[in-house]
Amino acid sequence: MFSQALRGALDEEDDLAVTAAVETCAAALQAARDTTPDVVLMDYRLPDGDGVDTARRIKAELPATRVVMLTASSDDAVLRQAIQAGCSGYLTKDHTIDELVLAVRAAFNGEALITPALLSRLLDRLSDRTQPGSDLTTRESEVLRLLAQGLSNQAIALNLGIRLATVRNHVQSVIEKLHAHSKLEAVATAMRLGLIQLPS
């Protein structure tokens, strides 16, 4: 219902046109390839994965396309991941349709879109970082410990009861937060910093 209402509002604007409206990550990536949109409004939680990973893939293939996360989640970790993925903005669904229409125009014009409250929280979290990995979430720490035990992404997904795409997202976040370039380097860094212990 939200998607239909938003599409209708955007299509009513003379300077805007919706090229595609899809429901999955896979469909979003394919639609972006087919239509090369100026702006993508991307939800975070989708049936086959999360929007941040899809946003990262869209930006890799279509650097000129601007991606704005439009989600019900105001989680700081998701916000950071969205920015790291190259998103141009992050909006929650409590905005009005008129505000979202303005946001699409702003994204097209190259403006960064983030509410002052979310920006303040993000800056607070960044200022609290005293060493790499200090801002790992509980779930990311769990994933890191399982990586140290030599588990694959698929095995971690089964162990934690989450999607493989979600595990990949967590692994990428862990690597970035530890300033590493691979899973192995991330584990080694975490051990050196005392964030995890060598598995017995």
Note the pLDDT tens digit of each residue in 126-184: 555 557 777 888 899 999 999 988 899 999 999 999 999 999 999 999 998 888 888 88
pLDDT in tens, 46-77: 888 888 899 999 999 999 999 998 887 666 77
Spans of all domains in the chain = 2-127, 138-191
CATH 1.10.10.10 is held by the domain 138-191 = yes
Model's pTM, two decimal places?
0.59
Strand partners, 41: 68
Rounded to the nearest 5 degrees, what angle is found at the Cα of 169, between the Cα atoms of 164 and 170?
A: 95
Strand, helix or coil for residue 84: helix
Dist CA 140 CA 172 (whole Å):
10
4-12 average pLDDT score: 88
2-127 has which CATH code?
3.40.50.2300
Dist CA 135 CA 87 (whole Å):
20
pLDDT in tens, 70-91: 887 666 777 778 877 888 888 8
- Residue 116, pLDDT score: 60
Q: How confident is the model at residue 120 (pLDDT cuts 50, 70, 90)?
A: low
Q: What are the distances in angstroms from CA 12 to CA 8, 111, 173, 191?
A: 6, 23, 38, 55
What the block records as the tokens of 161 is 């009861």
Contact in structure between 38 and 18 (CB atoms under 8 Å): no
